[in-house]
Amino acid sequence: MEKIGYLCTYVPVELVEAAGFRPRRIIPGSSEKDEVLLDPNVCPYLKAVLSGLRNESLGGLVFINSCDGMRRLYDAVRWFYPSLEVYILDVPRSSDEKGVLYYREVIGDFSRWLGDLRGRSLSEEEVREAIDRCNRRRRAFFEVLKKRPRAGDLLRALKGGFPPEDLSGVRLKEDGGKVKVLVTGSLLEADGILDWLEELGGEVLIPDVCSGLRGAGYVKEGEPFLALAKAYLEKPPCARMKGIRRQLLQKAVEEVRAVLAYIPKFCDHYLYELATLREICKGKGRPLLHLEGEYTLGVPEGIKTRIQAFLERWR
């Protein structure tokens, strides 16, 4: 089955499946970055994506209007990889009624693009079937989530996208950690950080990162495009979305003893959110550790030491 790559959790993968393609979240397995075609000032994940495209065989690639870097990556890919089929989904920043209606139209256009790609338009039945399939996978995933899985395993299972197909590698926690930690930020490529945290006696609550639990919840019944638009705009939000993250962070910070913010270098949305996070942590008396991601995949020794020192203080 031909693969369609996608770069963000706001892409309704149900439609990709309905069109007979296999959706694949692009989280490059190599830390090699393209420093030439994108400015050094752009996030390392995007540069790794651009570099990784040389070795990828994709039927198409779906972008999201998620950030300045992503928009420029979309331009660079069209310019420097003209033979690759690409699409950009214009996700609104608001999940209110206007936003949902706008996104429904955008999703409709996306389904037409997918139809053109396979040479036959998508039927409503195909879309409904794909929604059911994905909902079944969601159910299986949420069942595992209830059993307190290891955070690092969870992240690895989600690398291919959400809802995941294979959960066999997810191990459960044997006992709770001593220090409950909130891990928040954008893309956490170095899943070893979560293993290290848990190894040192920390207990990671649901990882609030783009490569973690930011996938859409159940898609409800009803007109499929509208249902998809609602489900994807009401999912755990990215910092790009209008004013709803603050409350969620406040609640999450209350439930933990320490906070770790993992933010890739030059990721504006989360670098600005850091100011809010600092304020919340200060107000609630929670320590905050900010780690800057460089898309290294592994966990550099310096970061390990910082996490160790951070946890030592609060154990």
Partner 1 sequence: MRFLYKALRSPNFWRVLKPLVCLYVSRERNRPFTLWVEFLCWVLGEASKRKRPVVWINSFFPVEFVYGLGAVPFLPELFSAIVAYFNWTRGPILKGSSLLSTDVCSFYRCAMGLLDYEVLPTPDLIISCSQICDGTKAFYEVLSHRMGVSHLLLDVPYRKDKRAKAYIKDQLIEIFEEARRLLDLRTPVEELKRSLEIARGTESVMREVAKLRRAVPAPFPGSEGMSYVAGMSFWSLGSERGLRFFEALRDRILRRVKERRGYLPEERFRVLWLHHIRPYYPNPIVSFLNEKGVAIAYEEVNYPWWPVPRGDDPFEDLAEKICANPWGGPIEGRIELVERLVEDYRIHGVIHFSHWGCRQSTGGAMVIGEVVKRRGIPYLILPGDGADPDNYSPGQTMTRLQAFLEVLQQRWRFMRV
Tell me the torsion sign for CA atoms 159, 178, 208, 194.
negative
- Alpha-helical segments (H) within the chain: 13-18, 44-52, 68-80, 97-118, 124-146, 151-157, 192-199, 224-233, 245-254, 268-284, 301-314
Pick from 53, 190, 258, 274 the residue near partner 1 by CB under 8 A: 274
> Which of 30, 23, 27, 107 lies closest to 58, judged by CA?
23
Binding flags for partner 1, 17-36, as an x/- string (CB under 8 A): -------------------x
**Interface pick for partner 1 out of 239, 253, 260, 299 (rule CB under 8 A):** 239
Binder among 2, 29, 30, 39 for partner 1 (CB under 8 A): 39
Toward partner 1, which CB reaches closer, 1 or 275? 275
Q: How far is the CB of 294 from partner 1 (least distance, A)?
A: 12
Determine if 229 is a binding residue for partner 1 (CB under 8 A): no
Interface region with partner 1, contact rule CB under 8 A, candidates 24-32, 65-73, 112-120, 128-136:
65-73
- The Cα-based distances of 178 to 206, 255, 257 in angstroms read 16, 13, 10
Q: How far apart (Å, rounded) are the C-alpha atoms in residues 16 and 24?
A: 10
CB of 251 to partner 1, least distance (A): 16
Q: How many amino acids of this chain bind partner 1 (CB under 8 A)?
A: 47
- 272 touches partner 1 (CB under 8 A): yes
What distance in Å separates the CA atoms of residue 90 and residue 129, rounded to the nearest whole number? 25
Cα–Cα distance, 281 to 140 (Å, whole number): 34
> Is 161 an interacting residue with respect to partner 1 (CB under 8 A)?
no
| Sheet of 202-204, strand order | 202-204, 179-185, 258-264, 288-293
Among 6, 74, 87, 225, binds partner 1 (CB under 8 A): 74
Which residue, 98 or 148, is less far from partner 1 as judged by CB?
Answer: 98
CA pair distance 159, 71, nearest whole angstrom: 22
Asked whether position 275 contacts partner 1 by CB under 8 A, the answer is: yes
Per CB under 8 A, 306 contacts partner 1? no
Asked whether position 69 contacts partner 1 by CB under 8 A, the answer is yes
Among 29, 30, 55, 75, binds partner 1 (CB under 8 A): 75
Min separation Cβ 66 and partner 1, Å: 9
| CB atoms near residue 21 (< 10 Å) | 21
Site string for partner 1, 84-103 (x = CB under 8 A): ----x-x-xxx---xx--x-
Q: How far, in Å, CA of 249 to CA of 228, rounded?
A: 25
Query: How many residues does the structure list for the chain?
Result: 315
Closest to partner 1 by CB, 105 vs 125, is 105
Task: Say whether residue 58 binds partner 1 (CB under 8 A).
Answer: no
- CA-based nearest residue to 233, from 107, 130, 70, 138: 107
Which residues would be at the binding site for partner 1 (CB under 8 A)?
36-39, 41-43, 65, 67-69, 71-76, 78-79, 88, 90, 92-94, 98-99, 102, 105-106, 239-240, 242-243, 246, 263, 265-266, 268-269, 271-276, 278-279
